[in-house]
Amino acid sequence: MCGIAGFMTCERLAPDAPRVLDRMLAVLGHRGPDGPGSGARPAAGLAMGHTRLAINDLGSGGAQPMTAPDGSVVATVAGELYGFRRMRAELTARGERFATKSDSELVLPLYRRHGLDFVRHLRGEFAIALFDAERDRLVLARDRFGVRPLFFHVGSAVFGWASEAKALLEHPAVPRRLSATAAVNQLVQVMVPGSTAFEGVESLRPGHLLVVDRDGDRLRVRAHRYWDLEFPHEGGWGDEEPEAHVDAVRDAVTDALAVRVEADVPVGLYLSGGMDSGALLGMTAALAQKPPEAFTIAFSDPAYDESGIAAKVAEHAGVGLAVRHVDDDELYDEHYVRAVWHSERTFYNTLGVAKMQLSGMVAARGVRAVVSGEGADELFAGYPAFALDHVSPDLNRADDLFVGAILPATAQRHPGFERVVGFTPGWVQPWVSTWRLVRPLLADGLLAALGDYDPLEAVAQALDPAALEHRGRLDRAQYTWAKTMLDGQILSWGGDRVDMANAVETRPVLLDHLVAETAVRVPPALRIRNGTEKWVLREALRHAMPEFLYERRKFAFMAPPAHRSEARAHGRARLVGKYLTRDRIADVGICDPDRTLRFLAELPADNATANEHDKVHNHLLGLHILHDLYVR
């Protein structure tokens, strides 16, 4: 897994460059507890470093940066490259020689052979920084779905990069300021793709390369998309029988899982009460030489607690289950603040806070890698909101819990999405309502400075119209979610950031790009069939899970909101009393103190409105904690 950081300057490195790089690596220590490594090429203005979490080649062979035998290419890699043993054998037969048993070393010969197309030959989750000395260029690459984070800063005389934004903030050329527009977007949840909470810090988009080279006395930065989630044009799914799609999905998932259970350390599994992780557990128990250990979260609120179901699934698979009981007072205390520090953005629900505590238990038990089921809902249309965009708007009974949270209380429309997408997807409709709640809370000075800025319009404008053109309605809903909420939520504050807070590497099986390329060929009518979500995946993996799980409908995995518990409400009130005082709200300057304090004092009576307010409370709290941690 690991973390990477570095910078490139227009001129020779300054004498303090090693100290600056050390500071950047120090704040990434949680990503790589097995030690930092660094390298510099002063004449080239290059400093690059790596913090290591040893998963493969546990000896010194996996240390980075890695350099080609002729010194022409040097690279740092965060993440995992799957199928590397076979590829290493194939390259050896072609004349390549390897100095280590590390998967990361593949990057060097592949780049020498294929140039910028090297990334197309990689399978896995990765963030890569590579320097080509012969061409005097730097190359950054991020995996196809953005499982691993990678941030960068473009300055007048320096270009910096890091696995987390906080490492970039350690460089003196990067300002420590919150972005006003990003703050507004965070308050309504949906970040503009490629943006971060901080001015001057950008996120490399999933499936993209970034090339930095010299143009006289300047650095030139160019982005290039090498992969995208490409649904066929509407009606272009072919005439295969449903069974053919079921078989193709089963084969793709089995292959993706098989490469992800390979490691030089034990690989565990995150287990919820859903069919995705339940089926993967059954398959992993069959694949692995030793039964995997499963890990799950238990909540005190029975409406949100799935640990009982997880226990039955683990028993059915014959594996041990470790349960992290997250009490109400653990969702709104120092764990909340720590989750904001690691996530570097706000969150509407405290699932990430709980997940961070789960990864802490995983690490304490000596497990460094876990497989997980993220991606099933994105690729096979599992989220309740996707049903709104397909044939039937019917919601199952459990969805009452999520109205106002991830489902709209009433149908909403947004002109930006109507224009770019052709309709307002169900997943974005709750945030249309949230923007109406948030806008009156903004400070008058900020409103004047923003003019007619609309955070959801900015998100819509960042989508690629060509990827949506001539696609089916469900395809467009899934694509827009994958380009926004998957990268900005599921894989950030719900994934990598809170897992790597405790040096635990998550391996999301369903986000294998070969699984994705199989999934997009499945007709919408087989993704949601007769009202059953993820039908084709459910059929493909049916016999790997217990029958009761096969028959269970999708239940969104979330932490219980504060308003459903006096203990949680009191816990959040304590944090609000510290971070959302009148003076602190005024100091941050995003919100109007009087209007915000009145909003915080409101007590909605109905569940949907309470859920809407709960989201905004969390975002307000997270935004002011961010300012306290990184600016104040």
Given a cut of 60, whether residue 462 has pLDDT beyond it is: yes
- Locate the domains of the chain by residue range: 3-180+190-225, 229-632
* Residue 375, CA distances (Å) to 224, 400, 482, 489, 607 in order: 24, 24, 9, 12, 29
Report residue 56: phi and psi, to 5°: -120, 150
Q: What is the pLDDT of residue 454?
A: 97
Which SS3 state, helix, strand or coil, does residue 152 take?
A: strand
Q: What is the DSSP code (8-state) at residue 544?
A: G
Tens-digit pLDDT profile for residues 420-455:
999 999 999 999 999 999 999 999 999 999 999 999
Q: What is the pLDDT of residue 239?
A: 81
- Sign of the CA dihedral with 461 first, then 466, 467, and 473 last: positive
Q: Which value, in Å, is the radius of gyration of the alpha carbons in the chain?
A: 24
Given a cut of 90, whether residue 465 has pLDDT beyond it is: yes
With left for phi above 0 and alpha for psi between -120 and 50, is residue 34 left, alpha or beta? Answer: alpha
Angstrom distance (rounded) from CA 139 to CA 144? 16
**Res. 557 pLDDT band, cuts 50 70 90:** confident
406: its two tokens: 């991830």
Tens-digit pLDDT profile for residues 159-181:
999 999 999 999 999 999 999 99
137-142 and 208-215 beta bridge pairing:
antiparallel
Angstrom distance (rounded) from CA 615 to CA 561? 8
Tens-digit pLDDT profile for residues 81-92:
999 999 999 999
Which SS3 state, helix, strand or coil, does residue 629 take?
A: helix
Tens-digit pLDDT profile for residues 478-534:
999 999 999 999 999 999 999 999 999 999 999 999 999 999 999 999 999 988 999
Which SS3 state, helix, strand or coil, does residue 168 take?
A: helix
The interaxial angle of helices 275-287 and 242-260, nearest 10 deg, is: 60
Percent of the chain at pLDDT exceeding 90: 88
Angstrom distance (rounded) from CA 504 to CA 53? 9
Given a cut of 90, whether residue 72 has pLDDT beyond it is: yes
Q: What is the pLDDT of residue 323?
A: 98
Could you please report the per-residue DSSP string of 455-516? HHHHHHHTS-HHHHTT--HHHHHHHHHIIIIIIIIITIIIIIHHHGGGT-EEEEGGG-HHHH
Print the SS3 string covering 27-59. CCHHHCECCEEEEEEHHHCEEEEEEECCCCCCC
With left for phi above 0 and alpha for psi between -120 and 50, is residue 2 left, alpha or beta? Answer: left
354: its two tokens: 């709980």
604: its two tokens: 């909605």
**Alpha helix locations (H) across 267-349?**
275-287, 307-317, 334-343
Tens-digit pLDDT profile for residues 36-64:
999 999 999 999 999 998 888 777 778 89
Tell me which of 19-23, 98-102, 208-212 is least confident.
Answer: 98-102
294-299 and 321-326 beta bridge pairing:
parallel
Tell me which of 95-109, 322-336, 381-395, 455-469 is least confident.
Answer: 381-395
65 cis-preceded (ω within 30 degrees of 0): yes
Q: What topology does CATH give the domain 3-180+190-225?
A: Glutamine Phosphoribosylpyrophosphate, subunit 1, domain 1 (3.60.20)
> pTM of the predicted model, to two decimals?
0.96
Q: What is the pLDDT of residue 397?
A: 43
Pick the CATH number of 229-632 from 3.40.50.2300, 3.40.50.620, 2.30.110.10, 3.30.2350.10: 3.40.50.620
**Res. 395 pLDDT band, cuts 50 70 90:** very low
Which SS3 state, helix, strand or coil, does residue 90 take?
A: helix
* Averaged pLDDT score across all residues of the chain: 94
- Beta-ladder partners of 99: none
Angstrom distance (rounded) from CA 176 to CA 568? 32
**Res. 398 pLDDT band, cuts 50 70 90:** very low
Percent of the chain at pLDDT exceeding 70: 98
Angstrom distance (rounded) from CA 514 to CA 535? 19
Print the SS3 string covering 230-271. CCCCCCCCCCCCHHHHHHHHHHHHHHHHHHHCCCCCCEEEEC
Sorted by sequence, the CB contacts under 8 Å of residue 430 that are 6+ apart come out as 404, 405, 406, 407, 408, 409, 412, 612, 615
Q: What is the pLDDT of residue 391?
A: 65
Quick check: 455 and 185 in contact, CB under 8 A? yes
Which of 537, 499, 529 has its CA nearest to residue 277?
537
Q: What is the pLDDT of residue 396?
A: 44
Report residue 9: phi and psi, to 5°: -115, 160
